[in-house]
Amino acid sequence: MLDSLSGRLSEIMKKIRGWGSLNEINVTDGLREIKLALLEADVNYKVVKAFMEGVTAEAMGEKVLKSIAPAQQFTKIVYDYLVKILGDTPKDLNIHRGGISVLMLVGLQGSGKTTSAVKLARHIQKSYNKKPLLIAADIYRPAAVKQLALLSEKNGFDMFEADDDPVNICAAGVKHAKENSFGAVIVDTAGRLELDEKMMDELVKIKRVINPHEILLVADAATGQAAVSVAQGFDEKIGVTGLMLSRMDSDARGGAALSMSYITGKHIKFIGTGEKVADFEKFYPSRIAGRILGKGDVVSLVEKVQEDLDLEKAKKLEKKIKKAAFDLNDFLDQIKQMQKMGPLENILEMIPGLPKKANMNIDEGELKRTEAIICSMTNYERGHYKSINGSRRKRIAMGSGTTVFDVNKLINNFQQMKKMIKKMGKVGGMKALSSLMDRM
Ligand SMILES: Nc1nc2c(ncn2[C@@H]2O[C@H](COP(=O)(O)OP(=O)(O)OP(=O)(O)O)[C@@H](O)[C@H]2O)c(=O)[nH]1
Ligand SMILES: [Mg+2]
């Protein structure tokens, strides 16, 4: 999925991260490469243009070029714009908790409507605990009803069929669902080879009769830009409420996925990633942007670090670490920073190359205890841990609601850590911190 684009972009971003400093010349080079990669991935030129304008304006600013970590900032800007063009925040289905929800799938022939209808039924049953009814409204293709019947049966869903025209079938199907306590109705409509009037008229009539909560356009991601104009065509004629991109698994380039939402102004709600019913995912712009930019979720890490960690402070800390002047106050600062960044395991998981087993050893309760202990020390004690004798340890334990054993353990760990830091010499803040947490 999106492999060739992801391969190209993550290479470019890696290269940029390798540059020690950013200046207008190398940023221009980097941006040119990104632009080429997007165009080669068949991303719509309007999207590429908007993307490049936004990223260039921000990346060239003083704030980025002169910052402490310019390459990381640059990565974050690219990532943020990717998320934006992919639709920003994920959108849920318009599902009524109480009553019946009616969903209608439309799209060209072979775009994946029938398969997606069953995938969607499974999703609705699992996520909303609603019993779905599938309506077979494609009476034109000889085996269409049978295909839906087989798929429904295989997955344990009920299907409604009737010997009538599609508009009447849909009306009767929704009535049947209401009378038989179904929670959702999914209408599988007929596809055509191209956008034709007759087909659109029929869809408009169905829409009028069943008044759906969602009209989802199913488009084949592997058809690239063609999928985008199909979506526009359907939207103009019948008005769609969301998009479903099928065959993301066979779309290495990614043009449709990256252009669809921006060009149509509609959200991609789901993607199909294979022929099986379980090959179906909710569409999260941020996750897709992360996948496109590289592995190990470096991007999310950068984002969190940018937002929550005071870089100036980190730089000072690094100096202190190098001089081994790191004291319990700095230690406390670090713990607070890490707590602000959210669950520790999430953060550590995002750091590529960190052994998974080490991550599991991190105990957040322990972090909180450590924080309480250090907070119960006087400022002098925090700067001079050797002054913390037996009676002081007792007082600190009382003050922090812990035991002398806990205080001893912390001071021992801190002592060992200082030794280790001395040995480590030239190691950056984050890395030093994670190895240090490992010892707790
Ligand atoms: N690899 C892959 N194949 C898919 C996906 N979704 C659907 N297919 C396959 O694409 C083919 C067409 O899918 P259908 O669901 O029958 O498409 P349709 O839009 O209902 O087709 P018509 O009813 O003829 O208009 C089938 O062979 C599906 O198995 C997907 O996400 N990935
Ligand atoms: Mg079909």
Q: Is 249 in the pocket of ligand 1 (CB under 6 A)?
A: yes
pLDDT higher at 1 or 246: 246
Residue whose CA is closest, atom 26 of ligand 1? 112
pLDDT higher at 215 or 64: 215
Domains parsed from the chain with CATH numbers: 3-89 (1.20.120.140), 101-283 (3.40.50.300), 309-438 (1.10.260.30)
Least confident of 26-30, 97-101, 303-307, 350-354: 350-354
User: 266 pLDDT exceeds 50?
Assistant: yes
Q: Is 376 in the pocket of ligand 1 (CB under 6 A)?
A: no
User: 209 pLDDT exceeds 90?
Assistant: yes
Question: Model confidence at 251, in pLDDT bands (50, 70, 90)?
Answer: confident
Residue whose CA is closest, atom 1 of ligand 1? 274
Q: Which of 275, 276, 279, 281 maximizes ligand 1 atoms within 8 Å of its Cβ, making it the mutation to test the pocket?
A: 275
Q: Is 223 in the pocket of ligand 1 (CB under 6 A)?
A: no
Q: Distance, CA 127 to ligand 2 centroid (Å)?
A: 24
Q: What pLDDT, in 10s, does the model give residues 405-416?
A: 999 999 988 887
Mean pLDDT to the nearest integer, 268-292: 89
Distance CA 210, CA 206 (A): 6
Please report the pLDDT score of residue 440 as a whole number. Answer: 44
Q: Is 347 in the pocket of ligand 1 (CB under 6 A)?
A: no
Q: What percent of the chain has pLDDT over 90?
A: 47
Query: Is residue 248 within 8 Å of residue 273, measured between CB atoms?
Result: yes
Mean pLDDT to the nearest integer, 258-262: 92
Map tokens 């969903």 to a residue: 103
Distance CA 339, CA 367 (A): 9
Rounded to whole angstroms, what are the CA distances from 252 to 40, 181, 212, 286, 374?
Answer: 11, 42, 33, 18, 52
Position in ligand 1 atom list of the atom nearest CA 110: 21
Q: State the ligand closest to the CA atom of 246.
A: 1
Rounded to whole angstroms, what are the CA distances from 103 to 93, 120, 210, 298?
Answer: 9, 10, 9, 38
Q: Is 272 in the pocket of ligand 1 (CB under 6 A)?
A: yes
Please report the pLDDT score of residue 353 as a whole number. Answer: 46
Distance CA 186, CA 107 (A): 14
Q: Distance, CA 339 to ligand 2 centroid (Å)?
A: 50
Position in ligand 1 atom list of the atom nearest CA 280: 31
Q: What pLDDT, in 10s, does the model give residues 346-390?
A: 545 444 444 444 444 456 677 788 889 999 999 899 989 999 999
Q: Chain centroid to CA 217: how far?
A: 22
Q: Which residues pair with 188 in a beta bridge?
A: 105, 136
pTM comes to: 0.69
Of 109, 113, 110, 114, nearest to 193 (Cα)?
Answer: 109
Q: Is 189 in the pocket of ligand 1 (CB under 6 A)?
A: no
Residue whose CA is closest, atom 29 of ligand 1? 275
Q: Which residues of 210-219 are buried (b: 16+ CB within 10 A; e: fewer)?
A: bebbbbbbbb
Q: Distance, CA 120 to ligand 2 centroid (Å)?
A: 14
Report the mean per-residue pLDDT for the chain.
83
Q: Distance, CA 143 to ligand 2 centroid (Å)?
A: 9
Least confident of 293-302, 318-327, 389-398: 293-302
Mean pLDDT to the nearest integer, 116-145: 93
Map tokens 């356009």 to a residue: 217
Distance CA 50, CA 30 (A): 17
Query: Is residue 253 within 8 Å of residue 44, measured between CB atoms?
Result: no
